[in-house]
């Protein structure tokens, strides 16, 4: 993401499309309007100045991540307190969130802390029946990570099983819209060449829709740019990660997956959509993604932190330490 931010969000390489634009943009804003006035940097264009700018951007991302980490803890506290009416349990959840196995990612230039803040805030707003605010927050989360679209399930549940009101469909569309917008932008950026000499990426060869919408570029029927890039460059897809070589990564993820299943079963006092969302993430993590990523991906799921198990607390503290060391050495689950 540092490369995306330093390039001015131009996305010069198609593999960068896997990273959505909100976090690099926030890093640029903080670096330009907060850190640069405080610490200064020249604009002569030399290599040293370019390195200074990248350093400011890196610090901008770190500042955003850590502020979002704190805000996410507060949002989780508010959410759990609203649902359970037990402030002590909410405080414990916030503490466990701060000491989670993915702590190193929550303090680094990663999308997880901002996404967790928006996810928890949207859930908290929904629990107080602020539906429009929840939709807005979850729409913003979709600009941070693609799994923000999963929050549409909350509106689908209320439409199907609580009150079949049209507004829930509209709110779900609001949450999904940023994802669709980013696919259109990505398709236009790489699959509509500005010159004859330009060679589009191979994934642009997928068959486009027959009817364009409002003059926007066609989207591929057989795969969106995001899914195509994930499959081509990261080997992401149905059971594509299931091989003997990946057994260590499954071992890395096993405690988080087992804990998730236990929490899904035990959290009977929580509304059904939270349990369904968590169950889907477990299923998807096991079958269709780099499984070790669940260590940080599940940081946005509140059920992860609704436990008083000493074993889980011990694991969280130990793995937060080990994970920080592995992260610094560029080993999985980084």
- DSSP result, 76-121: HHHHHHHHH--HHHHHHHHHHHHT-TTHHHHTSSSSHHHHHHHHHH
pLDDT of residue 200: 80
pLDDT tens digits, 184-210: 999 888 887 665 566 788 778 765 443
**pLDDT at residue 195 in the model:** 58
What pLDDT does residue 22 have?
A: 95
Three-state DSSP class for residue 133: helix
pLDDT tens-place string over residues 206-239: 654 434 444 444 555 456 889 888 888 888 888 8
- pLDDT value at residue 214: 42
**Domain boundaries in the chain?**
2-39+48-195+223-328
pTM (predicted TM-score):
0.91
How much is the pLDDT for 38?
Answer: 85
Q: How far apart are the first and last CA of the chain?
A: 14
Question: Which strand (E) or helix (H) includes residue 256?
Answer: helix 247-266
Cis amide linkage into residue 102, ω under 30° from 0: no
Q: Specify the pLDDT at position 209.
A: 47
Low-confidence ranges of the chain (pLDDT < 50): 42, 44, 48, 208-217, 221
How many angstroms separate the CA atoms of 211 and 172, rounded?
24
Burial label for 130, CB within 10 Å (0-12, 13-18, 19+), is middle
């Amino acid at each position: 993401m540092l490369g995306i931010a330093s390039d001015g969000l131009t996305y010069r390489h198609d593999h960068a499309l896997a990273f959505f634009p909100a976090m690099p943009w926030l890093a640029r804003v903080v670096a330009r309007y907060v850190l640069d006035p405080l610490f200064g940097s020249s604009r002569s264009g030399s290599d040293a100045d370019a390195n200074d700018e990248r350093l400011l951007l890196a610090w901008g991302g770190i500042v955003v991540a850590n502020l979002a980490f704190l805000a996410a803890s507060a949002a989780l506290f508010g959410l759990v307190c609203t649902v359970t009416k037990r402030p002590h349990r909410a405080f414990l959840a916030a503490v466990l969130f701060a000491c989670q196995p993915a702590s190193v990612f929550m303090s680094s230039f990663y999308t997880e802390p901002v996404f967790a803040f928006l996810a928890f805030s949207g859930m908290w707003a929904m629990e107080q029946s602020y539906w429009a605010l929840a939709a807005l927050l979850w729409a913003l989360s979709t600009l941070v990570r693609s799994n923000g679209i999963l929050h549409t399930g909350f509106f689908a549940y209320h439409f199907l099983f609580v009150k079949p009101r049209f507004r829930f469909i509209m709110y779900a569309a609001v949450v999904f819209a940023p994802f669709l917008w980013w696919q259109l932008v990505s398709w236009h950026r790489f699959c509509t060449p500005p010159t004859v000499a330009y060679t589009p990426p191979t994934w642009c060869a997928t068959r486009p829709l027959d009817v364009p919408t409002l003059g926007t570029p066609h989207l591929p029927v057989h795969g969106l740019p995001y899914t195509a890039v994930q499959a081509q460059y990261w080997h992401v897809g149905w059971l594509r990660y299931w091989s003997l070589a990946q057994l260590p990564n499954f071992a890395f993820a096993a405690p988080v997956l087992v804990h998730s299943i236990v929490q899904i079963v035990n959290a009977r006092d929580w509304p059904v959509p939270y349990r369904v969302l968590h169950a889907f993430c477990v299923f998807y993590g096991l079958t269709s993604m780099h499984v070790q990523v669940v260590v940080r991906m599940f940081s946005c799921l509140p059920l992860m932190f609704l436990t008083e198990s000493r074993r889980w607390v011990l694991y969280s503290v130990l793995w937060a330490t080990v994970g920080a060391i592995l992260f610094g050495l560029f080993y999985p689950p980084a």
